[in-house]
Amino acid sequence: MTRGRSIKNRRRFLRAPFFGALIAHDNHRVFQGSCVNISVLGLSFFTPVEFHPVGSKILVHVKPGSGLSPFNAICEVVSAAKVVDADNQNKKAIKYGLRFVKIAPKIQEEIHAFTQKNKGQVAA
């Protein structure tokens, strides 16, 4: 907040903190990660390994914690940034942003309800 006014979220769809295990693959290589946040359009996750550049299409399998059903999706890598783990300053990770290309409509509805329910929480 600045000077008593709140800053509007300019995103078209809300993000919510989302913690679950993720497996990503391209039918040749498999990578594991930890989800950070989710929206109807996509999700972000941390992984210790570099895999695909921005623009790549990958398959993801998500086993979320409470609030959502497990799901599969075809995604496009839209961002990748190297970060230092806050808990261990020596451990480096990569935060990837994914856009859903193909996902079941039922899961999108669940994600929408989940983000509405958790909209006041801070996402990473």
pLDDT in tens, 7-25: 344 556 688 888 889 999 9
Q: What is the pLDDT of residues 69-107, one digit of tens each?
A: 999 999 999 999 888 766 656 567 889 999 999 999 999
Nearest to 59 by CA among 33, 36, 27, 84: 27
Which residue reads 């993720």 in tokens? 22
Phi, psi dihedral angles at 66 (to 5 degrees): -75, 150
3 vs 69, more confident: 69
What does the pLDDT look like over 26-74, one tens digit per residue?
888 888 999 999 999 999 999 888 878 899 999 999 997 777 899 999 9
Closest to 62 measured CA to CA, from 116, 107, 26: 107
Name 83's Cβ contacts closer than 8 Å, sequence gap at least 6.
46, 92, 93, 94, 95
Q: What is the CATH number of domain 16-117?
A: 2.40.10.220
- Section 118-122 average pLDDT: 69
| pTM of the predicted protein model | 0.80
Identify whether the C-beta of residue 75 lies closer than 8 Å to the C-beta of residue 98.
Answer: yes
